[in-house]
């Protein structure tokens, strides 16, 4: 089996910089449950990265899973009779096993939209159906950046969603499991992104770019009278880790010296290279690549042959649509090896 795959950036190992920070944290005793200095430093690092200043750290919660970050963000704004607008293909709607509904006690209202992006006309029609206490009350609109189809919202598209949220008195949540890759695609830094979009909550993902259990929930300008709500919710959701310094230490490894951004740039560049080379193998690319994933058409027998050769990748949504994803550690040699294996397979097509 090849040592590096194209199934998911979750398959990749932990980056060296994260391991070094974990080892530095692994000395002596430290207060548990996030009361340690390493966690305080990591919160400051995230606030700096997002351009929020040194004092805006009270509502940063470190959690081990992306699902936990999403549910924590959404639940902080929603009562049990309230709902979240999201794309029908969003991770929270398709891949979180009803965690928002079961754990967060909220309802998801799926929206259509091409390329994994929310159609605001559909969102408006949902808002127009709200009829008092007989139906749920939409409270949050959630945007996935990068989307599940590998596309990236432009700043203009996100600004339109922000305007829609303001018009309808909704909070705006960003599921940023791959936000670092999106920032590279957009060619902007995080403070510009935050200033332009003004999200109310952000799920910031570190696992996919080289962390281990490395996610954060950030609630922007959360009301002071409610500041303990996210902490209680985190405990109830079983997302509060006792030895929290080993989660927060990872963020020091990812954010200092722009480590995560550099690895995201590499992953995106490798996806671009894969896109260019796979076209030579007579493989149809199904949509424009915008970050570190590529969606291609393969016949089932072709995919099966590649799987037999040891390659791992996912069939995604459609019968012949397969996702190939690069990671922080993908090398050109991995792409060359994959292309070498796929070329004779596609060359043998009879139709």
Residue among 110, 121, 118 at smallest CA distance from 147:
118
- The residues, ordered by sequence, that sit 6+ positions from 115 with a Cβ below 8 Å of its Cβ are 147, 149, 151, 287
8 Å CB contact between 306 and 7: no
**Residue 135 or residue 250, greater confidence:** 250
Mean pLDDT of 138-156: 97
pLDDT in tens, 248-278: 999 999 999 999 999 999 999 999 999 999 9
pLDDT at 1 over 80: no
8 Å CB contact between 201 and 220: yes
Residue 298 — left, alpha, or beta (φ > 0 → left; ψ -120 to 50 → alpha)? beta
Note the pLDDT of residue 351.
52
Note the pLDDT of residue 57.
86
Note the pLDDT of residue 171.
98
pLDDT in tens, 37-81: 999 999 999 999 999 987 678 899 999 999 999 999 999 999 999
Find where tokens 């029908």 sit.
88
Q: What DSSP designation does 318 have?
A: S
Q: What domains sit in the chain, N to C, each tagged with a CATH number?
A: 15-257 (3.40.640.10), 259-347 (3.90.1150.10)
Mean pLDDT of 122-138: 92
pLDDT at 282 over 60: yes
8 Å CB contact between 73 and 203: yes
- The residues, ordered by sequence, that sit 6+ positions from 334 with a Cβ below 8 Å of its Cβ are 2, 4, 6
């Amino acid at each position: 089996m090849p040592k590096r795959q194209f199934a998911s950036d979750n398959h990749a190992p932990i980056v060296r910089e994260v391991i070094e920070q974990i080892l530095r944290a692994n000395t002596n005793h430290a207060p548990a449950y996030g009361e340690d200095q390493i966690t305080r430093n990591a919160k400051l690092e995230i606030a700096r990265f997002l351009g929020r200043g040194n004092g805006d750290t009270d509502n940063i919660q470190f959690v081990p899973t992306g699902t936990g970050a999403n549910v924590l963000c959404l639940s902080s704004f929603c009562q049990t009779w309230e709902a979240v607008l999201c794309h029908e293909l969003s991770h929270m709607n398709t891949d979180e096993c009803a965690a928002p509904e079961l754990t967060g006690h909220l309802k998801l209202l799926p929206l259509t939209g091409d390329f994994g992006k929310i159609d605001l006309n559909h969102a408006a029609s949902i808002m127009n159906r709200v009829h008092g206490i007989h139906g749920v009350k939409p409270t949050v609109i959630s945007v996935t950046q990068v989307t599940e189809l590998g596309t990236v919202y432009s700043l203009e598209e996100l600004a339109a969603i922000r305007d829609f949220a303001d018009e309808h008195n909704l909070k705006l949540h960003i599921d940023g499991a791959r936000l670092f890759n999106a920032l590279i695609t957009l060619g902007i830094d995080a403070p510009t992104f935050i200033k332009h979009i003004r999200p109310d909550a952000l799920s910031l993902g570190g696992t996919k770019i080289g962390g281990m259990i490395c996610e954060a929930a950030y609630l922007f300008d959360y009301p002071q009278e409610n500041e303990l709500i996210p902490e209680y919710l985190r405990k109830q959701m079983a997302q509060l880790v006792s030895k929290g310094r080993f989660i927060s230490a990872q963020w020091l490894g990812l954010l200092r010296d722009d480590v995560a951004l550099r690895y995201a740039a590499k992953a995106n560049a490798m996806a671009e290279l894969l896109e260019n080379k796979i076209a030579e193998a007579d493989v149809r690319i199904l949509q424009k690549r915008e970050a570190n994933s590529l969606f291609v058409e393969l016949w089932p027998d072709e995919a099966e042959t590649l799987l037999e050769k040891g390659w791992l990748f996912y069939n995604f949504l459609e019968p012949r649509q397969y996702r190939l994803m690069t990671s922080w550690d993908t090398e050109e040699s991995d792409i060359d090896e994959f292309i070498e294996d796929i070329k004779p397979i596609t060359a043998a097509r009879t139709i």
